[in-house]
Homo-oligomer: A and B are copies of this chain.
């Protein structure tokens, strides 16, 4: 089995490699291609990747290359984890929206739109080249904003599934609190990427007993603390929102915090510098502890499981981003939602979900409309389309801000936008 990782020079890659090594029984990788235009960084990461596999006795070969077409040729699966413009662009995304009092975040709000505009054309180009060089390959997209990017891929007819680590993170967290094995925990996870709620936590299987009320009663404080939300809000809802919901439920509080803190991008950049120095140490042959602070926990587990199910056609249930196809009847069929889906060799098919309560459905419908316009803007460009997407976003919605943010988005991303 051959796997290609586009953006393989990411400092995050050792996490992924460690997963491949640990989970070799689930996913027997024979060849691993790390593709990245940043040659120096790729070499550091590739070297560590080889040492990690070697230490664990994993037989896979690791190839590093800047040549995308060669790298993906005949791959069984292609993982896309790139960042157009790098941490510098992220730093921008998280800063200029604050000038207008809007949240700066790399998936939500005006920053997320900027990322979508930069990223969608690049990912579509890569996917097109994958289609030519490896027509049967599955594309697993980690690249944010996952919802919009996955929709772009599916609309262009690619064999693609979108993946986020929010659901697996909750699964592991709840399993620990319940003191059961992670595989025992099934989530009634519903919504859009980064706009999800856990409506039930079931033991043993998708129809198992719902222990969410018990979890909240016994561990409500810990769960709320993880979300940086007050216990009270979790109790009122009776469900567990993803911590991205904080950008909605506590928007002004988050803006205030962002205004008075160093940016997350700056933190990540500092950490990446430190990680790359470590990776250069030929004695290092495991993922360093620091990597845990970089975010992205359990991505490798989720990716291995997803790739395995797609390539081996297991038909098991995983939380992924896929076409709605009537699952949430108030959304278009071609909206991309994030729910448990049966995954086999034909792809991911969302399982039915109970009717979504208005308190969540209203926001989901609103954000879906934004994502529709965001994708339009990413595919077709133009100031008016950017403005429309921003005006459609529930966290913006005012024309004065939409105008000002449009100007700033374009000014800060001109080099990455072909039409600007």
Q: List the interface of chain A (C-beta within 8 A of B).
A: 95, 98-101, 229-230, 232-233, 236, 248-253, 256, 259-262, 330-332, 358-359, 361-363, 365-370, 372-373, 384, 387-388, 391-392, 394, 397-401, 403-404, 407
Contacts and interface: CB of A to CB of B under 8 A. Distances in A.
A361 B388 CA distance: 13
B358 A362 contact: no
A376 to B, nearest CB: 9
17 contacts: A95-B99, A98-B99, A99-B99, A100-B259, A230-B399, A232-B399, A233-B399, A251-B398, A358-B369, A359-B388, A359-B392, A362-B367, A362-B394, A363-B397, A365-B366, A365-B369, A394-B394
B392 A362 contact: yes
A249 B394 CA distance: 11
Contacts of A251: 397-398
B359 A391 contact: yes
A368 B359 contact: no
Nearest to A374: B358
Interface of A is mostly: helix
A404 B253 CA distance: 14
Query: 8 closest pairs, A vs B, by CB?
Result: A362-B369, A365-B365, A358-B369, A366-B366, A98-B99, A260-B404, A362-B366, A358-B372
Contacts of A230: 399
Contacts of A331: 330
B330 A392 contact: no
A384 B233 CA distance: 11
Contacts of A365: 330, 361-362, 365-366, 369
Contacts of A248: 397-398
Contact of A330 (B229, B252, B330, B384): B330
Contacts of A359: 369, 373, 388, 391-392
A409 to B, nearest CB: 14
A241 to B, nearest CB: 10
A265 to B, nearest CB: 13
B400 A260 contact: yes
Most buried by B among A256, A362, A373: A362
Nearest to A358: B369
A384 B95 CA distance: 24
A357 to B, nearest CB: 9
A366 B394 contact: yes
Nearest to A238: B384
Contacts of A387: 236
B101 A250 contact: no
Given A98-B100, A260-B401, 12 more contacts: A100-B260, A230-B399, A249-B399, A250-B399, A251-B398, A261-B404, A358-B392, A359-B369, A359-B388, A359-B392, A363-B369, A365-B366
Contacts of A369: 358-359, 361-363, 365
